[in-house]
Amino acid sequence: EVQLVESGGGLVQPGRSLKLSCAASGFTFSNYGMAWVRQAPTKGLEWVATISYDGSSTYYRDSVKGRFTISRDNAKSTLYLQMDSLRSEDTATYYCARSLNYGGYSAAFDYWGQGVMVTVSS
Amino acid sequence: DIQMTQSPASLSASLGETVTIQCRASEDIYSGLAWYQQKPGKSPQLLIYGASSLQDGVPSRFSGSGSGTQYSLKISSMQTEDEGVYFCQQGLKYPYTFGAGTKLELK
């Protein structure tokens, strides 16, 4: 059974840092691209970042570029999101998700973690 | 960025009724379209990818269609467990973008 379990969320002041982790099990982690998707309270879904199966390629939305870093440790089957210079608008539930590549160049997210809440407030 | 516009924002349906949700992309996404269902307090669940491919384990009453910029999700016979919020997502170009969601309730 595929499982994705996030951890590391919490309350943090603006300008500070936080690192999220996502422990994967039930599949060969090193074969899949992975992503972080967030959802602000009572809002819709927003893609944050994607990393390739081997970590060689990363992609970010503009609003987090230069502040967030997605990374992975395939030996530990763990995905990370280092979040620096946090802003109030980063407040959201952060989901770890597995990428499903199809059609040669498109992607969806076929498994999601339960999510971890990040609150940025003074 | 590719904008995804969903309609309607909300709807209610009776048991057994057919439900259709629309999603329009701001440019051609060449069937790079997925649909998700999210229930309150839960993570999203993938229903459809590639515009019309049913994800494993998803009931066959769910179907997707469309091409170019226009896509739709159909539920052929509304069930109690189908209540929730439905999102479309384009996965062709970064940044991947989602529609604002359609809240489906049982009438």
Report pLDDT digits (tens) over B22-69.
999 999 999 999 999 999 999 999 999 999 999 999 999 999 999 999
Cβ–Cβ of A59/B98 closer than 8 Å? no
**Residue found under tokens 């030996």:** A75
Cβ atoms < 10 Å from Cβ of B56? 7
pLDDT along chain A (122 residues), means of 10: 98 98 98 98 95 97 98 98 98 98 92 98 96
For residue B72, pLDDT over 90 is answered with yes
How buried is B74 (Cβ within 10 angstroms: 0-12 exposed, 13-18 middle, 19+ buried)?
middle
Question: How high is the pLDDT of residue B83?
Answer: 98
Cβ–Cβ of A102/B50 closer than 8 Å? yes
DSSP line for B24-89: EESS--TT-EEEEEE-TTS--EEEEETTTEEPTT--TTEEEEEETTEEEEEESS--GGG-EEEEEE
User: Residues B69, B29: contact at Cβ < 8 Å?
Assistant: yes
Q: Which of residues 87-106 of B touch A (CB under 8 A)?
A: 87, 89, 91-92, 94-101
Question: How high is the pLDDT of residue A104?
Answer: 84
Q: Which amino acid is at A121?
A: S
Bridge-based pairing of strands A116-120 and A10-12 is: parallel
- Nearest residue to A98 via CA among A54, A37, A13, A7: A37
Nearest to A113 among B38, B43, B100 (CB): B43
Q: What is the average pLDDT value for chain B, to the nearest integer? A: 98
Report the percentage of chain B scoring pLDDT > 90. 100
Res. B93 pLDDT band, cuts 50 70 90: very high
Task: Dihedral sign for Cα A14, A51, B27, B47, please.
Answer: negative
Q: Nearest C-alpha of chain A: how many angstroms from B97?
A: 7
Q: How far is CA A117 from CA A7, A39, A84, A112, B64, in A?
A: 9, 9, 16, 14, 32
User: Residues B4, B24: contact at Cβ < 8 Å?
Assistant: yes
Question: How high is the pLDDT of residue A40?
Answer: 96
User: Residues A6, A24: contact at Cβ < 8 Å?
Assistant: no
Residues from chain A contacting residue B45 (CB–CB below 8 Å): 112
Question: How high is the pLDDT of residue B44?
Answer: 98
Question: How high is the pLDDT of residue A6?
Answer: 98
- Nearest residue to B33 via CA among B74, B71, B61: B71
